[in-house]
Structure 1
Amino acid sequence: MADLEVDLVATDGKVWSGTARQVSAPAADGEIGILAGHTPILSVLRAGEVRVQPAGGGAPLRWHVDGGFLSVDSDMVTVVVDTVASGTGPASAGDRH
């Protein structure tokens, strides 16, 4: 299965970048799931949880976001948010960007 290249960026800098099998995010009109080969899309995000399933396996990475947008083009996923708090992501649970 092909992988996605993912960038999660907050207004003050890059939060996470890497390869993933799947990305899920809280789109304005409902939850969206992205796999390799997804149709290009630009979507507004509402407050909720962004989840990334790393390509190497392991537990999903999670961040609570307060809104932003998600772009998908040619297996590249870019998530740009105003603020982000890590959940079980690579940073400690209390971090805010």
Structure 2
Amino acid sequence: MAGAPLTVSVVSADQEVWSGEATMVVARTVEGQIGILPGHEPLLAILASGEVRLTLPGGEKIVAQAEDGFLSVANNQVTIVARKAGLV
């Protein structure tokens, strides 16, 4: 794991579900599950319905449920935009 933590934003069509820093993001894409760590290469993926798991810098875990959308990674920023999303 390299450098500063990830800056993560999880949003749905009508609200911001969660935002903050994380050391790891795991999400389901249409091509399978993906794990994002700091320093990850830029990526744009289609999100499939399923869990988005976030590990925070202190080790706490947050889980959100997301339905359809996309995941974007660039410069240690992860943006997840889903049709529907909410914390579990």
* Fold conserved between structures, TM > 0.5: yes
Mapped pair 1:39 → 2:41: yes
Give the letter aligned to residue 85 of structure 1. Answer: G
In structure 2, the residue matched to 1:30 is 32
Q: What pairs with 1:58-97 in structure 2 (closer than 5 Å)?
A: 58=60, 60-87=61-88
Write the deviation string for residues 5-24 of structure 1: whole angstroms up to 9, x where unpaired. Answer: 00001100211010000000
Give the letter aligned to residue 62 of structure 1. Answer: V
Q: Please state how far the C-alpha of 1:65 moved relative to its aligned partner.
A: 1.1
Give distance in 1, aligned partners of 2:15 and 2:56.
Answer: 21
TM-score when scaled to structure 2?
Answer: 0.92
In structure 1, the residue matched to 2:51 is 49
Give distance in 2, aligned partners of 1:79 and 1:55.
Answer: 19
What's the Cα RMSD here?
1.0
Structure 2, unpaired ranges of 5+ = none
Q: Please state how far the C-alpha of 1:63 moved relative to its aligned partner.
A: 1.1
Structure with the larger RCO, 1 or 2 (CA within 8 Å, 6+ apart):
2
In structure 2, the residue matched to 1:5 is 7
Contact 2:44 2:71 in 1 (8 A): yes
Q: Please state how far the C-alpha of 1:86 moved relative to its aligned partner.
A: 2.0
Q: Which runs of 4+ in 1 moved over 2 A?
A: none
Determine which structure has more spread, i.e. the larger CA radius of gyration: 1
Contact 2:23 2:55 in 1 (8 A): yes
Q: Percent identity?
A: 42
